[in-house]
Structure 1
Amino acid sequence: MSEDVPHTTITVSVPAKTNLTLHVGAPRAQWSGRHELDTIYCAISVRDTVTATRKRPGSGFSLAIDGDHLGDLASSDLRRNHAVLALFALAQAAEREPDVALHVEKTIPVGAGLAGGSADAAATLLALNTLWDLHWPIARLQEVAATLGADMPFCLTGGFARGTGFGERIEHLDEDCETVRALRDRGYAGNVLVGAYNAQLSTPDVYRMFDQIGAGAGDDNHLQAAAIRLHPRSGEAIEAAIQAGARHAFVSGSGPSVIAFTPTAAIAQAVAQAWERARLVDRVIAAHAPAYPHITSAVSTSYSVRQ
């Protein structure tokens, strides 16, 4: 592609995240009360897609959101949308004007512990990095992302990663590293079912409940007991998935979504049937793990983002 061909439209799809482990420490005053975390992130192939298009200089930004399950996004303040916050953050960091039209196509459930808002922000940063010909490395984009939220730096790369701090300090885990090989051997890769709900859980509410009751015995996700206390169907869905043969089943992040790793197609079908028969979830979404962001330019070929 010739360097003098301007990008006019960039489309980026970013996968959802789950936490294979989520160990929660004490809240820290220097992080505005956010808790210390040690987590293993994993991206799963339920995707939101952001398209960024140049607008006439001085015309400002615009945002359109589409999707079948938008939750409270349809009525929320546009300027508080994660994609818009990412647009303004990068515009300030790069000294650019935010004259960009953003279109967000939502597939990741809203308020579900799957980092849908963070995925939208990450997709926006990746799209603008190309649209504005910044050519910033991922590490520099992650510095901007960390100012917006804990999950956003991870969503820029997908795959597997360890997160520390309040989740924003990212150590990418290569596919051939010992940690990832061990995760794969334990069944944390391949086919995944997401049990999604129409209800949303507020992350601050889940943390407040965690501060009251602590982590459940043996839970790798320390927020799971709190999420189940606020949304009991999640716990019932976990039990049903394990009984149906899932190798792992757990609340995703702060919930209420439930993740089930299913080693065979027959087990995936059995889990889905168990969930649907007892109405333990509102939707079943098939996916795989790990997954990675994907960028498409109107004037170039498509490619996946890898660290």
Structure 2
Amino acid sequence: MSPVISHPRPAAARHQFDELSPITITVDCPAKTNLTLEVGPAHDEWGGRHELDTTYCAIGVYDTVTATAKQPGAGFSLELEGAYLGDLASSRSDMRRNHAVLALFAMAQAAEREPDVALTITKRIPVGAGLGGGSADAAATMLAVNRLWELNWPIERLRTIAATLGADMPFCLTGGLAYGTGFGERITDIAPGSRDELALIEQGFSGEVLVGAYQSQLSTPEVYHTFDLVGAAEGDRNHLQAAAISLHPRSGQAIDAATQAGASHAFVSGSGPSVVAFAADEAAAQRIIEVWRDTAVVDRIIRAKSPEHPNISVRQ
């Protein structure tokens, strides 16, 4: 099933250019998780968003966005494909509110041109899972359009635009490891081989990453609303974990099972319900996989690496 939407633009608003670019840009953008996520008070000036202090990590589960220029005035189109579309496949889903489309509009406004672009998104990151799939799609779209339109804008300029769209999107533009502050949009990259990266490795955030995914989804606003009521559990590095588990108890069962099987870390990813477990070696990874399968505390198991980065390719 591939939902498709087209949005033509008025003739008077068309951006004229001499030649239609034959180039197709493909961006593979990884999912994100939060190694730590401290949640502070909500701020009215941020539209009610909470203050965050987080450590981002990009993990190797990828959505792919393909962008191709369309004829002037044709407007945008969006096609979704993949086995795990979740609510995105619903006939009630407004594709014009899709994160990738909003990113395309934001880039078009900043570049003062029309969004005459065909987008195709191949979904592999579970939807509504706390893994930043929508943010990855938006970031991939921005990277693709930046190349497609030959804007050559630096990452900092793209991050400024991305920050108007969502908390995780500025991080997803580069992936890897980074600190996030503000409502998550202020990014400080952690360089490979740096003291901060080595400290994370020493803490056990290394080796293979296992993602326990679910068919069900959690609404991020609902998780934050629950957090406002129940707060964070003592010792949780992710302050949203207790709220997510209260709404989706199987996540807590998966964390307990992974921990008992020898995971160096196991936690709810972001606002959940996905669970991320770090395994120091292949033997530990196999134990976690076996216990998750035997106890049926997750619906799907994804093996990944970290930290990962977006990959851009160009096709004539």
Of 53, 61, 75, 1:60 maps to: 75
Task: Name the Cα RMSD after superposition.
Answer: 1.1
SS in 1 for 2:153: coil
SS in 1 for 2:245: helix
User: How far is 1:222 from its partner?
Assistant: 0.3
Q: 2:57 corresponds to which residue?
A: 42
Q: 2:243 corresponds to which residue?
A: 226
Are residue 105 (structure 1) and residue 105 (structure 2) matched? no
Mapping for residues 182-201 of structure 1, pairs under 5 Å: 182-201=199-218
Task: Supply the distance in 2 between the matched residues of 1:187 and 1:270 (Cα, whole angstroms).
Answer: 17
Q: Which amino acid aligns with 1:37?
A: L
- TM (norm. structure 1) is 0.95
The worse-fitting range, judged by mean Cα deviation, of 99-108 and 263-272 is 263-272
Q: 2:307 corresponds to which residue?
A: 290
Task: Supply the distance in 2 between the matched residues of 1:62 and 1:190 (Cα, whole angstroms).
Answer: 40
Q: 2:170 corresponds to which residue?
A: 153
SS in 1 for 2:228: helix
Task: Supply the distance in 2 between the matched residues of 1:112 and 1:172 (Cα, whole angstroms).
Answer: 24
Mapping for residues 125-140 of structure 1, pairs under 5 Å: 125-140=142-157
Task: Supply the distance in 2 between the matched residues of 1:189 and 1:275 (Cα, whole angstroms).
Answer: 20
Q: Which amino acid aligns with 2:296?
A: R
Equivalences, count: 296
SS in 1 for 2:187: strand
Of 23, 26, 33, 1:18 maps to: 33
Report % sequence identity: 66
Of 139, 151, 159, 1:142 maps to: 159
Q: Which amino acid aligns with 1:54?
A: A
Task: Supply the distance in 2 between the matched residues of 1:65 and 1:59 (Cα, whole angstroms).
Answer: 19
Q: 2:84 corresponds to which residue?
A: 69
Q: Which amino acid aligns with 1:41?
A: Y
User: How far is 1:272 from its partner?
Assistant: 0.9
Task: Supply the distance in 2 between the matched residues of 1:118 and 1:56 (Cα, whole angstroms).
Answer: 27
User: How far is 1:6 from its partner?
Assistant: 4.5
- Which runs of 4 or more aligned residues in structure 1 lie more than 6 Å from their structure 2 counterparts after TM superposition? none
Are residue 275 (structure 1) and residue 292 (structure 2) matched? yes
SS in 1 for 2:305: strand
User: How far is 1:189 from its partner?
Assistant: 2.3
User: How far is 1:20 from its partner?
Assistant: 0.3
- TM (norm. structure 2) is 0.92
SS in 1 for 2:53: strand
